[in-house]
Amino acid sequence: MRHALVSALEQVEKLPPEEQDALAAILVEEIASEQHWSQSFARSGHVLESLAAEALAEFNAGKSRSLDELL
């Protein structure tokens, strides 16, 4: 385990049980969210590549404007 995580957990151990439970719930939720996004991006690589190619083609064809022009 990384030193930073060990240090953080040592601090958590000093908190009341209710606060420990709340922090644990937040951590578990964050890990699940990160896994969800990682899986989503892994499955959508071809879509993102296609969208990037389309955007680049539009830019090269002069069909796009800079954000500065829109503001």
| Residue 59 to residue 71: CA distance in whole angstroms | 18
| 20 alpha carbon, distance to own chain's centre | 24
* pLDDT at position 66: 83
With 0-12 CB in 10 A as exposed, 13-18 as middle and 19+ as buried, what is 2?
exposed
Q: Whole-angstrom distance between the N-terminal and C-terminal Cα of the chain?
A: 48
- 15 contacts 26 by C-beta, under 8 angstroms: no
Q: Where are the domains of the chain?
A: 3-70
* pLDDT at position 1: 87
Residue 5: which pLDDT band, with cuts at 50, 70 and 90?
very high
